[in-house]
Amino acid sequence: MPVTDTVTLGDDLTTSAIGFGAMALTPVYGEVDDAESLATLHQALDLGVTFIDTANVYGGGANERLIADLLASRRDEVTLATKFGIVGNPADRASGKPGARGDAAYVKQCIDESLGRLRTDVVDLYYMHRRNVSVPIEETVGAMAELVAAGKVRHLGLSEVTADELRAAVAVHPIAAVQSEWSIWSRDVEARVVPAAAELGVGFVPYSPLGRGFLTGTLTSSADLTESSDFRRNLPRFADDALQENLAVVEVIRAVADEREATPAQIALAWLRYRADELGVASVPIPGTRRAARVKENFDSLDVALSDDQLARLDAAGAAVSGHRNADLGWVSAGRE
């Protein structure tokens, strides 16, 4: 299959074929060093990874402010994505409080706050981060469309929406991309959301394409999980009854990596590229990392080819994954399909 350094998502939005998920540069995975983070971002641009993904809630706005330091000298090189919509925290959601807002007033408030933190006049791709099901999606997307008309946003995106929600949104305004978790460990979106995106000409932006810790170099056995963050430890995929089965996928990936003289992360990203092509959707994964060397490793996955036999083995391994990808399925599209 031909590989290029750029991909055109929906609504004629062209980005680098690999993006950068900036949530990795927040304390959710441990303490961060802003100078090191900024150096990693600059290295990403130097390599050609120009699609930078952040959100207003990452680090309580600190992540957007960090990226503003990158934009200060290199704004023209960046395809900038940020998000709005998440409010509160998991504990609030568990107690029944709304975890997201999508009302028109909030949409307009959030873009102005993000533009201020980012110190820029326009966002290239603006996502609804999560859906508040009590607010019609037509209202939310309608308010987002007004931001395009106002010149504050160039393209619209939706995160963790169902196929039906995507169809309703597209009827209001063109949607450039759906962002949802998608990896060899998380394939529920392949049933309905990805086919709907392909049908509608909407691109797909997989987050956590390396499996939320399975291939980041921090989790190679069940023992490692005790030292891992609560962010991973509380996910069903990492529960005792599922973890060993899911770690078996790592072994298949490692075997293929040895055969291709590649790294396991490159194999996982290459598999996702082939899978998106098979399903007919333009896709740009956004792996996150704190280290510049990892950015290059991920970008070089574009040069990794897989044989039919290797794809079949990887597909079979992924099909055997155990456990849901989120403890609160209503928080992701899988719980509403």
Q: Please, are residues 278 and 13 in contact by the beta-carbon 8 Å criterion? A: no
Alpha carbon 156 to its chain's center: 15
Catalytic residue among 58, 106, 127, 207, which?
58
> Which structure tokens are listed for 298?
């991920």
Contacts of 187 (CB under 8 A, 6+ apart): 318, 319, 321
Catalytic residue status for 127? no
Q: Which phi and psi (to 5°) does residue 21 adopt?
A: -85, 105
CA dist 156 and 124 (Å) reads: 8
- Per DSSP (E only), the strands in 183-280 are 203-207
Burial class (CB in 10 A: 0-12, 13-18, 19+), 262: buried
What residues act catalytically? 58
